[in-house]
Amino acid sequence: MASSWAERAIEIDKVADKKALEVDHVSHSFGRLVALDDVSLSVDQGRFLALLGVNGAGKTTLFSLITRLYDNVTGAIRVDGYDVRRQPEPALARLGVLFQSIALDRDLTVRQNLAYHAALHGLPRSLARKTAEIMIEQVGLTGKMDSRVSTLSGGQMRRADIARALLHRPRLLLLDEPTVGLDVQSRLEVNALLRELAGREGVAVVWATHLLDEVQPGDQVAILHHGRIRRSGVAADIAGEASLEDAFLKLTSSTPEPAT
Amino acid sequence: MNRRKAEKGAGSGAGFVELGWPGRLRALRGIVWREVLRFARQRERFLSALVRPLVWLFIFAAGFRSVLGLSITPPYETYVLYEVYVTPGLCAMIQLFSGMQSSLSMVYDRETGAMRSFLVSPYPRWFLLGSKLLAGVAVSIVQVVVFLFIAWLWGIDPPVMGYLTVLPALVLTGMMLGSMGLFLSSAIRQLENFAGIMNFVIFPMFFASSALYPLWRMQESSTLLYDICRLNPFTYAVELIRFALYGQVNWTALLVVFGATVLFFGAAVYAYDPSKGLIGRRR
């Protein structure tokens, strides 16, 4: 039975250094439009990655592939070590997502929304209730549990949505431009809140954005342009002497926009 | 088994998510509960859903009462008034509209945060879509029950037991119509809006069926139309409901509705599944 011991050793090794997210040579096209071209990136457990790109760079397509809205045709995507195509259930179980549009039902109360999303992940009711209370407190909406979502401000809605995305204790949080449409104050708050919560819970974060002021110098950054990763590394290194904005503009203006 | 336990126990494992059947059933309950809650909040939707069949019952049926003679056909044991004859058809009509509407929104709203977050739930797609359809069916049954109550006040009183026996029939017919709507609206782009569904699905299905007139009447005017009606799955939905409302089982209808449900549901899961189906290829 030596082989099984060896196998187990390998398996243990794998678990020890499995990444929160691994995107491995993924390409995807819609008809003739190549949306992603041989994209590879990885995020360590509990780390933060800013995925920068202008509109149409392929951020949303990449997220759609990770969340299995489309199937990745080439390459592999693993969440916490689970291949999203071959083992979608454990992979999705480890995933929390904030979409561009708020996922909450405006007609229902915060409590009802959270109960529904907890149910979508199979949480027992008592656990769901307890976790909802804790999360709502952590996002600073205590006392808003029984307010209807439509009565909340934009920033409050987003915070409730954050509580929703973290309810089932994901290992990886995907954020698809979550601060678009918020005022400056709310944007800063949401950014700080997400970083704090992710840090406390040890959740890895992939933050897709085109707003460069959301990136901190120490963040891991990947710059996506026309479906390709143009640069990746620590924000401060990419910026070099100049600002990150200059580096970003330089990288993303070198190739002309394709006709769409 | 050990591995499963280990996964559950580890804090860095699957978090709070329960992937087995207990978790799935909680998800199903949550999905149905939310749909009913949403429906209860939208009073206009409820009223408009109710007005449609009531207009047919109060006005159309009254007008046609004298025009249409009905012979005694099972499940009826005596001559029945036209209102009595159309009631099961109108129940099916409520489900037809409701099923098409909710299926259409599943396709139309698929890029919204609400639908996306529904689809990243860790359960298999077929299970999620089935739960969503079942939730739509629950809402449609609420409408049918209220409609049947008003019809009862209007003097249409099937046997009391019929109100119970009709429920399983309504679940099945609702599933059939919902999965048909889901399949059609995800497979055919032209049917992505409600006007398209109305013109090309709801009206033809409703009129070319036994909802408004018994099929032998159709046969008298056109054998081709008669054949079309007999091929229309909606006819069997209507007949299943009609017989069930009188405590009887129409086995042909049951078989056809069941078969059509399985078929359309399979096709809908395929068409809706972006990895194989038709939605992902479209953009």
**Structural domains of chain A in order of their starting residue, each with its CATH number:** 18-94+172-260 (3.40.50.300), 99-169 (no CATH)
Q: Is A36 helix (H, G, I), strand (E, B) or coil?
A: strand
> Do the Cβ atoms of B30 and A105 come within 8 Å?
no
Report the side by side order of strands in the sheet with A33-43: A33-43, A21-30, A74-79, A82-83
pLDDT at position B223, please? 87
More confident residue, B186 or B147: B147
Mean pLDDT of A5-26: 70
Cβ-based contacts of B29 with chain A (< 8 Å) = 119
Query: Could you report the per-residue pLDDT of A148-185, keeping only the tens digit for each?
Result: 999 999 899 999 999 999 999 999 999 998 888 888 88
Confidence of residue B46 (pLDDT cuts 50, 70, 90): confident
Mean pLDDT of B164-186: 93
Best B112, B117, B121 residue to mutate vs chain A (most A CBs within 10 Å)? B117
> Could you give the CA distance from residue A116 to residue A112 in angstroms, rounded to a whole number?
6
> Do the Cβ atoms of A122 and B19 come within 8 Å?
yes
Best A89, A121, A164, A166 residue to mutate vs chain B (most B CBs within 10 Å)? A121
> Could you give the CA distance from residue A97 to residue A178 in angstroms, rounded to a whole number?
10
Give the distance between the most distant pair of CA atoms in chain B. Answer: 73
> Could you give the CA distance from residue A142 to residue B116 in angstroms, rounded to a whole number?
27
Q: Within 10 A of A52 (CB to CB), how many other CB atoms are there?
A: 31
Residues 6+ apart with CB under 8 A from B79: B70, B71, B72
Query: Could you report the per-residue pLDDT of A16-54, keeping only the tens digit for each?
Result: 568 999 999 999 888 788 888 999 999 999 899 999 988
List Cα–Cα distances, B161 to A71, B165, B171, B243, B246, in angstroms: 49, 6, 17, 12, 8
> Do the Cβ atoms of B17 and A167 come within 8 Å?
no
- For residue B184, the one-letter residue type is L
Provide the shortest C-alpha distance from residue A175 to chain B (in Å). Answer: 12
Both tokens of residue B81?
A: 């008034």
Query: Could you report the per-residue pLDDT of B7-40, keeping only the tens digit for each?
Result: 443 333 467 888 888 899 999 999 999 999 988 8
Nearest Cα residue to A82 out of A173, A14, A164: A14
Alpha helix positions (H), A23-174: 59-66, 88-93, 110-120, 125-138, 154-166
Query: Could you report the per-residue pLDDT of B89-104, keeping only the tens digit for each?
Result: 999 999 999 998 888 8
More confident residue, B215 or A5: B215
In chain A, whose CA is at the least distance from the CA of B279?
A70
| Chain A interface includes B10 (CB < 8 A) | no
Cβ-based contacts of A104 with chain B (< 8 Å) = 113-114
> Could you give the CA distance from residue B63 to residue A4 in angstroms, rounded to a whole number?
80
Provide the shortest C-alpha distance from residue B44 to chain A (in Å). Answer: 14
> Could you give the CA distance from residue A219 to residue A78 in angstroms, rounded to a whole number?
22
- For residue B20, the one-letter residue type is G
pLDDT at position B127, please? 94
pLDDT at position A133, please? 94
pLDDT for residue A3 is more than 60:
no
Cβ-based contacts of B274 with chain A (< 8 Å) = 68-71
Best A18, A28, A66, A69 residue to mutate vs chain B (most B CBs within 10 Å)? A69
- DSSP β-ladder status, A220-225 and A228-234: antiparallel
Mean pLDDT of A187-201: 89
Alpha helix positions (H), chain B: 2-9, 21-41, 43-55, 61-64, 82-108, 113-119, 125-153, 160-187, 194-197, 203-207, 215-221, 223-231, 233-245, 251-272, 279-282
Both tokens of residue B253?
A: 């209808």
Provide the shortest C-alpha distance from residue A124 to chain B (in Å). Answer: 7
Provide the shortest C-alpha distance from residue A163 to chain B (in Å). Answer: 13
The residues spanned by each domain of chain B are 20-274
Cβ-based contacts of B31 with chain A (< 8 Å) = 116, 119-120
How crowded is the C-beta side of B11, counted as CA atoms within 13 Å?
Answer: 3
Query: Could you report the per-residue pLDDT of A79-105, keeping only the tens digit for each?
Result: 999 998 888 899 999 999 999 889 999
Provide the shortest C-alpha distance from residue B234 to chain A (in Å). Answer: 32
> Do the Cβ atoms of A94 and B14 come within 8 Å?
yes
Query: Could you report the per-residue pLDDT of A123-134, keeping only the tens digit for each?
Result: 999 999 999 999
Best B4, B17, B29, B272 residue to mutate vs chain A (most A CBs within 10 Å)? B17
Nearest Cα residue to A164 out of A107, A208, A121: A121
DSSP string, A169-204: --SEEEEESTTTT--HHHHHHHHHHHHHHHHHHT-E
pLDDT at position B5, please? 39
> Could you give the CA distance from residue A132 to residue A126 in angstroms, rounded to a whole number?
10
List Cα–Cα distances, B194 to A16, B199, B232, in angstroms: 52, 9, 20
List Cα–Cα distances, B109 to B106, B185, B198, in angstroms: 6, 12, 18
pLDDT for residue B233 is more than 90:
yes
ipTM of the complex: 0.83
Question: B213 near B68, Cβ under 8 Å?
Answer: yes
pLDDT for residue B49 is more than 60:
yes
Q: Is B114 exposed, middle or buried (0-12, 13-18, 19+ CB in 10 A)?
A: buried
Query: Could you report the per-residue pLDDT of B237-282, keeping only the tens digit for each?
Result: 999 999 999 999 999 999 999 999 999 999 998 888 766 545 554 4
Q: What is the mean pLDDT of chain B?
A: 85
Confidence of residue B2 (pLDDT cuts 50, 70, 90): very low
Q: Is A29 helix (H, G, I), strand (E, B) or coil?
A: strand
- For residue A194, the one-letter residue type is L
pLDDT at position B283, please? 43
Question: A123 near A164, Cβ under 8 Å?
Answer: no
pLDDT for residue A259 is more than 50:
no
